[in-house]
Amino acid sequence: MKRIPGSIKLVVITFYCLAGLFALIQTDAFAKDASTQQGKAQQLSKLDNATCLGCHELSNGSLHVSGAKSESGQPHGISQEKFVKSVHNEMQCVTCHKEITDASSPHKLGPGPKPDCVACHLELWETAKKENLTNEKARLGVVVRNVETYKNSFHARPNADDKTRVNAACDDCHNTHIFSVPPQGTTRRTDWHLTIPMVCGENCHADQLEEYAESIHGKNVLEMRNLKAADCTDCHTSHSITSTLKNTFKLSITENCGTCHTENLDTYRDTYHGQVNKLGYGYTAKCYDCHGSHGILSPSDPKSKVHPNNRLKTCQKCHKEATQGFVTFSPHANTSSFERYPQVWIVSRFMWSLLAGVFIFFWLHTGLWWYREAQDRKARKVHPERRKESK
Amino acid sequence: MTHRVVDELPEQHGKQIRRFGLIWRIAHLCFALSVMLLILTGMSVFYSETTWAPFIMQMFGGPKAAGIVHRTSAAIMLGIFFLHLIGVTTNIVRNWKTFKFFGPDSLIPNWQDILDIFRMFKWFLGKGPRPVFDRWTYWEKFDYWAVFWGMGIIGSSGMMLAFPNVTASFLPGWAFNVAMIVHGEEAFLAAVFLFTVHFFNNHFRPDKLPPPDVVMFTGSVPMDEFKREHTAQYNRLIQSGDLKKHLVDTPPRALTLGSKILGLTLIAIGLTLLVLVIIGFVG
């Protein structure tokens, strides 16, 4: 071999080495690029609903992950079966859950906001209004109206114990993931409606639920599935719930009872208690002052607060000096039932005839008088001499 | 004969005939004011379902305050009524010998009133001349006795409601139900009667136009009106020569003007109340 000078050799070797290194670096870089792309694709597929439900599906049982929150802090499972029937079935989990950016367990929460029914729905409604779709999307208007009334309600106020929370948020009453409002008149609607006492009572208002379950309304709703009887929301409303100490409550609750008990409301309105209430003052007896609120029973039930045996005590809450005679006053007397209220029946007939008699006589008297006197005056104007004559 | 005397009578310039003494006029004014307050406060409870009622309640500051106004007015009214009873009784006792219970100066209804009613209807139907009246016409007597009836019925039922514990100590509870109905219906009767029939008879008849008739405030009527409205009394007084006893000076212009303003104000209030009651009745 021809003798190659050592310096050239060095250059060549260096070249090859550099080229090799370059190639090495190149492939490494390519490989890295490929792996990130592959990772992205993997991640995308992991954030779809199926992936999320892979861990969060109800039938999986509770999530047991090391490093996760304590047992009690474990999230509830989500029923895919129900989710696909819910009002949000077409949505991606992550459209609402902007705070979730990975599919690992436990999650590393991202900076995105937690889902918020109110903000999202106000925006949806604004968009619908802009696009003139308010008729097609009327139901979205219902949501927004409920949001509006809810905002003024007792539940929207900060909780006394934990100021960062409201008393009850939308998702405390409505399970976001399975929330569906079945059409009126279907058995699904009935089922849904019948859950209301449980929704209110299970976690928050256990005492009221317990008392309610024993009442005539509770028995009708919970045992006989009678939708016509009052559940919590028939008396309290669902979204404009107010503090029971407020005057507005004391006035509206009476109307709410009256939506079903129309006759009793009417007769109540004929008494001083009801008249004052109608005028906007809540201090006289309201339906619940006499009947109770959650433990309402039929008046013939010996435990009812208005049963003759207990009535005196009920009235004495306000009428301190009430006597047994006082309490036979009928808070629901009407003028049409002789069997139940004979005295009232007789007296009302008497008064009506008196009024009719007096007015028939005197209005006839007045009318004729007017006519005759006017005629006479006209005649006198035409023949002024008659006036003198008549004197 | 009568005719001659009438014409002979010197024109009484500056003179009117006195019909109501000062005490009666004050009593009537107090009655009018208290009955209007009673109607306003009472009807806004009775017709609590109207839109106007809550406003009135707010104006008074709530049903408790309105209740105090109602009871105070009732006390004034009953007070005057009983004072009047005492006055009338002493008057009758004092004049026991001469008092004619069924005479023309008495307010007690008599046979003549029945005849007058028939004659009046005959006239209405164009079947007879216009009847002439003495001091008290039958409708004036009715106005007077209606107060007795009203006081008895509204007053007693009102007292039952105002003192429920006393009532309950000797009456059963249904007495409240009955008292409520009687009190309300009778008050309705009184209000509507006053603001239609009473107003018409005294202020809105064609012969009385334009309103108001101020005799209840000035106490006296001009001679020609007296002659027209109480012809029989006029003739009687002329014949007995007692007319002079009833003559008084024409009230000063200021009094007449003041009475007119007062009268119109009361009429306006009364008609407003009537409208409110009608709204309540219809709505």
pLDDT tens-digit series, residues B211-224: 888 888 888 888 88
Alpha carbons B110 and A87: distance in angstroms, whole number? 85
Task: Specify if A26 maps to a domain.
Answer: yes
CATH (domain of B95) = 1.20.950
Q: Enumerate the residues of chain A whose CB falls inside 8 A of the CB of residue B200.
A: 366, 369-370
Task: Specify if A387 maps to a domain.
Answer: no
**DSSP secondary structure letters along A152-185:** TSGGGSBPSS-TTSBSS-HHHHS-TTT---PPTT
CB contact under 8 A, B207 and A328: no
Structural domain range at position B44: 20-99+137-218+252-282
How many domains does chain A fold into? 1
What's the confidence (pLDDT) of residue A69? 46
CB contact under 8 A, B181 and A355: no
| Closest to A45 in 3D by CA, of A98, A102, A83, A84 | A102
Task: Specify if A28 maps to a domain.
Answer: yes
pLDDT band per the 50, 70, 90 thresholds, residue A354? very high
pLDDT in tens, B148-177: 898 899 999 999 999 988 888 888 888 999
Task: Specify if A167 maps to a domain.
Answer: no
Alpha carbons A233 and A102: distance in angstroms, whole number? 40
What's the confidence (pLDDT) of residue A16? 56
pLDDT in tens, B222-237: 888 888 888 888 888 8
Cis peptide before A115 (omega within 30 of 0): no
pLDDT in tens, B16-69: 888 888 888 999 999 999 999 999 999 999 999 999 999 999 999 999 999 999
| Closest to A365 in 3D by CA, of B128, B225, B185, B123 | B123
Structural domain range at position A29: 6-46
State the Rg of chain B over Cα. Answer: 21
Task: Specify if B94 maps to a domain.
Answer: yes
| B159 membership: H or E segment, kind and range | helix B156-162
Task: Specify if B88 maps to a domain.
Answer: yes
Alpha carbons B24 and B149: distance in angstroms, whole number? 19
What's the confidence (pLDDT) of residue A88? 87
Q: How many inter-chain contacts (A to B, CB under 8 Å) are there?
A: 132
**Which tokens go with A51?**
């992936």
Geometric angle at alpha carbon A197, from A191 and A198, rounded to 5°: 80
What's the confidence (pLDDT) of residue A364? 94
Q: Enumerate the residues of chain B whose CB falls inside 8 A of the CB of residue A319.
A: 164-165
**Residue A341 near residue A334 (C-beta atoms within 8 A):** yes
Task: Specify if B112 maps to a domain.
Answer: no
CB contact under 8 A, A351 and B180: no
pLDDT in tens, A51-74: 888 888 877 665 554 444 444 456
**Which tokens go with B157?**
């039922």
Task: Specify if A36 maps to a domain.
Answer: yes
Residue A1 reports pLDDT greater than 60? no
pLDDT band per the 50, 70, 90 thresholds, residue A290? very high
CB contact under 8 A, B206 and A326: no
**Residue B49 near residue B77 (C-beta atoms within 8 A):** no
Mutate to test the interface with A, among B132, B137, B174 (most CBs of A within 10 A): B174
Give the count of beta carbons closer than 10 Å to the beta carbon of residue A391: 12
* Alpha-carbon distances of A185 from A174, A189, A190, B164, rounded to whole Å: 20, 7, 7, 50
What is the pTM (predicted TM-score) of this model? 0.83
What's the confidence (pLDDT) of residue B74? 95
**Residue A98 near residue A112 (C-beta atoms within 8 A):** yes
How many domains does chain B fold into? 1
Alpha carbons A326 and A316: distance in angstroms, whole number? 10
Task: Specify if A32 maps to a domain.
Answer: yes
Alpha carbons B76 and B33: distance in angstroms, whole number? 10
CB contact under 8 A, B186 and A351: yes
- Nearest by CB: B180 against A271, A373, A374: A271
Describe the crossing of helices A262-269 and A247-260 by its angle, rounded to 10 degrees: 130
What's the confidence (pLDDT) of residue B210? 82
